Structure 1
Amino acid sequence: MESQTGKTALITGATSGIGLELARLFAQDGYNLVLVARQEDSLRRVATDFEQQYNIRATTIAKDLMETNAPEEIYQQTRQQGITVDVLVNNAGMGEYGKFATETDLQKELGIIQLNATSLVHLTKLYLKEMVTRNEGKILMLASVVSAIPNPLMAVYGATKSFIYSFAEALRNELKDTQITVTALMPGATATDFFNKAGAQNAKVTDSDLADPAKVAKDGYDALMQGKDKVVSGFKNKMQVAMSHVLPDTVVSEAMRNMMNEKGYEEEADEEHESLTPLAIGLGLATVVLAAGIFLTASYTNANWYEKRRYKEKLKSLTNALTPSLN
């Protein structure tokens, strides 16, 4: 079977959730696929389905990216088969729910760092070198809304997503004079098996309006193909990210903690914290952001040179946060 584009996309975590939907979008557009996940039987089912539906070639590589040697083995396998990876999709990721100090398992968290961050860096290093040699390629990084917002009760997961976002933005700058693009996809809570695997199935956030993984994947795919640096999927999530640029981290963290607490959990809190429900913040966010912009603009006029520099940075962050919200 021959690809319509002659190009190949490698997708990690490709058998479910956002990864599966991204693989489907590439297949629909005629890309050959390299599907990476842990279970060979699941990989083969997806590969066979896509080959039959879209007349493309799907190669499967069963590897656990929590293992330190997995990225090199994946790379060597594609080289041995003569596969050129034109698009790298670093999608695989996992979380662990609970208080870091007393409730979560250290070994699992170290594995999460290996999966979410270390293996992602390793795969990117290997395939990006080839892209630079060809001066062509695309990379999609699965970041998250929590790349910009502290994530209590999933502290390690949130930290890895912040790392991914920063890494993606830095690489994009380094590659600005090439034909290679790096795009960060930043979804919020999505209707996948993520919360079950993380042990967070009873978190309040799971009762919210979870995003459709197909819609998230389409947002990421479109942004990747357009060469954008990032995309926050969903209007509510765009506003959350905008909020993170103008409100104190303590306020944003408290709001996120409220969403991540278990259902039925009531924490003793002062009136200020009780008012920081996601709904209240969501309803008032547009006003807060607008007011913050007006305040910063007005303050800039009478500021000294140092304060003006700080205000310019805040205004820039606010503008960047609002731009995707208004598109």
Structure 2
Amino acid sequence: MAQTALLTGSYGGLGTVLARIHASRGGNLILVGRSQEKLDAQAAELRQQCGVTVHTIAADLSRADEVEKVYTTVKANGWSVDYLMNNAGFGGQGDFACERSMEQDMSMIAVNIEAPTRLAKLFLPDFIERGRGKVLNVSSTAATMPGPLQAVYYATKAYLTSWSNALWRELQDTGVTVTALMPGAMQTGFVNAGGLADTALFAHAVSPDEVALAGYEAMLRGDLNVTAGLPGWQRPMMALASLFPKKAMLDFVYNQQVSGSAH
């Protein structure tokens, strides 16, 4: 039987690839994003290419009532959700106190933390009652360290990974799993939207294709965490991160994220 995935942030970067992978395997989709026009275009393409059923829900996930609307729309239409893929999220470069606005960072917390938490709170009881279901939370390797000049973003991903791991344990023996996908720097719209295009951190960003596939397969297996898409220098750094003196690590991350550091 075809599995239906609800995917947030469906028409940008990693979300586009996740949707394509699921549809190419005969899976149906419920696409969630802010722009109905973009959702309609994506849905039409997936229906034509893969012959699957695709529904759309336009929602601003920075608003709690809009997150609730996603669930109530699913229930009102009698749609069944087998996989919940919390992909929507964004970052943004800048000094927390002097450059980042209150609205920017509060909206980031709402989308990166509150939205996936609310969606899981709504959908997990249904999964548990049914005795099956899979959740993929798109976190980041940023979860493993503080991120000066992206202070709030890194902290949201630390929350997402910690919370996902705790749920993985709580849900043992229910038939439901939660997987955290932890990519490195990727070539997506996230880079330009966050003002990160000219930073050293994203100078060698990788394609989202391999990351999406690794995350999707890990979700199917019910893995705890999966790290994917690390450019060459990030692999040893991530492996040794816990051994570096904290202040030296903070200096390194800071320098990687200074505007113009890519040159």
1:19 pairs with one of 12, 15, 21: 15
Partners of 1:127 and 1:245 in 2: how far apart?
35
Partners of 1:240 and 1:232 in 2: how far apart?
13
- 1:36-185 superposed matches below 5 A: 36-185=32-181
Which consecutive unaligned segments of at least 5 residues does structure 1 have? 267-327
For residue 69 of structure 1, give the secondary structure of its aligned residue in structure 2. Answer: helix
Greater gyration radius: 1
For residue 171 of structure 1, give the secondary structure of its aligned residue in structure 2. Answer: helix
For residue 189 of structure 1, give the secondary structure of its aligned residue in structure 2. Answer: coil
Deviations 1:46-93 (A, max 9, x none): 101101111100001110101121111000001111111100000000
1:231 pairs with one of 226, 233, 248: 226
Q: What is the TM-score normalised by the length of structure 1?
A: 0.77
Greater helix fraction, Structure 1 or Structure 2: 1
Deviations 1:244-293 (A, max 9, x none): 22223222222211211122599xxxxxxxxxxxxxxxxxxxxxxxxxxx
Partners of 1:34 and 1:240 in 2: how far apart?
37
For residue 96 of structure 1, give the secondary structure of its aligned residue in structure 2. Answer: coil
Contact 1:11 1:35 in 2 (8 A): yes
Residue identity (%): 36
Structure 1 equivalent of residue 207 of structure 2: 212
Paired residues in the alignment total 261
- The alignment status of 1:245 with 2:248, answered yes or no, reads no
Partners of 1:264 and 1:44 in 2: how far apart?
38
Letter in 2 for 1:222: E
Deviations 1:86-110 (A, max 9, x none): 0000000011210101111111100
Higher RCO, 1 vs 2 (CA within 8 Å, ≥6 residues apart): 2
Letter in 2 for 1:259: Q
Partners of 1:20 and 1:109 in 2: how far apart?
25
- The alignment status of 1:34 with 2:30, answered yes or no, reads yes
Deviations 1:98-139 (A, max 9, x none): 010111111110011000001110001101110011110000
Partners of 2:229 and 2:191 in 1: how far apart?
19
Contact 2:60 2:67 in 1 (8 A): no
* CA pair 238-129 structure 1, distance change in 2 beyond 3 A: farther
* CA pair 150-49 structure 1, distance change in 2 beyond 3 A: same
- The alignment status of 1:256 with 2:250, answered yes or no, reads no
For residue 145 of structure 2, give the secondary structure of its aligned residue in structure 1. Answer: coil
Contact 1:149 1:241 in 2 (8 A): no
Which consecutive unaligned segments of at least 5 residues does structure 2 have? none
